[in-house]
Amino acid sequence: MTKDTNSDKFTNLVVAWNEYDSMQFNDWVLQVSESYFLSGLTLKMASNFLNCQPAELQAVLNLAMLEDESLALLARLKPPSTTWFSLAAASTDGLKAAIQALMETKDHKSPFLVVESAIRDVEGPTVFERIAGLSSEVFGHASKKAQTYGLLTDKGIKALKGWQTRVKSGKTLTPAQMSYADGLLRELVTNGAIKRETQDGDKELCDEILDALGYE
């Protein structure tokens, strides 16, 4: 019975994810989030079941934490997945500006850059811009914490180490790397590896990450 019940939970998550095209975006986000937490799966395991990147699923979970009124603004708009982290981190005014900008943008423009620009105009530096401003030490430390806590995929840990080297050499992260970094760092936060009340003697580095991501 337990096995069948667990199987149903996994199946419900897959079904919820695959209903993207047939549901309003805000309802789909809430359904996926509820199904994910009921499944009891880790982010990595669920992503494998759904055949998606962990960062993509994490972005949906972040969107589900928006206030109902804010999430409802996305009801008739299916924003590209590259914008989900930015939209989830925006204030209500920033979200409204981003939605308006997406509706007015031309096809040849990057949705990610359109959203980031609209939010910046309202709120100042965006989450991705703050992530791009993190020190090389932060990325290196994040990779070590991921290994210590048994989190992230090998690819994710390798990416964090790569960004440590990249930032140390004076290069900035690309928009795609900022988005990927956001998902990886939030996964570390969600699973308790990065927190304000850390007992690992790394409060300053944890605070730097949490501040960049916009956590209280």
pLDDT (0 to 100) of residue 73: 93
Q: How far out from the chain centre does Cα 21 lie?
A: 21
117-149 pLDDT, tens per residue?
999 999 988 888 899 999 999 999 999 999 999
Q: Tell me, what DSSP letter sits at residue 171?
A: P
- Over pLDDT 90: what percentage of the chain? 67
Three-state SS for 20?
helix
Please check whether residue 17 is in contact with residue 9, taking contact to mean a CB–CB distance below 8 angstroms.
no
Looking at the domain assignment, is residue 72 inside a domain? no
Alpha helices (H) along the chain: 2-18, 25-39, 43-50, 54-64, 68-72, 84-89, 92-104, 111-123, 127-132, 136-149, 154-168, 175-190, 203-213
Looking at the domain assignment, is residue 30 inside a domain? yes
- Reported pTM: 0.72
Looking at the domain assignment, is residue 24 inside a domain? yes
**What span, in angstroms and rounded, lies between the C-alpha atoms of 125 and 86?**
11
Looking at the domain assignment, is residue 11 inside a domain? yes
61 and 135 both lie in a single domain: no
Looking at the domain assignment, is residue 1 inside a domain? yes
- Tokens describing residue 46: 């669920």
Tell me which of 27, 50, 65 is where a domain ends. Answer: 65
Nearest CA to 9 out of 34, 44, 43 is that of: 34
Domain count, the chain: 2
User: Would you state the torsion angle of the CA atoms of residues 203, 94, 76, 186, taken in this order, to the nearest 10 degrees?
Assistant: -10
pLDDT (0 to 100) of residue 215: 86
Task: Residue count of the chain, please give it.
Answer: 216
The values of phi and psi at residue 76, to 5°, are -105, 10
* Parent domain of 17: 1-65
pLDDT higher than 70, residue 1: no
Looking at the domain assignment, is residue 81 inside a domain? no
Tell me which of 45, 65, 85 is where a domain ends. Answer: 65
Tell me which of 26, 46, 65 is where a domain ends. Answer: 65
Looking at the domain assignment, is residue 135 inside a domain? yes
- Radius of gyration (Cα) for the chain, nearest Å? 18
Looking at the domain assignment, is residue 94 inside a domain? no
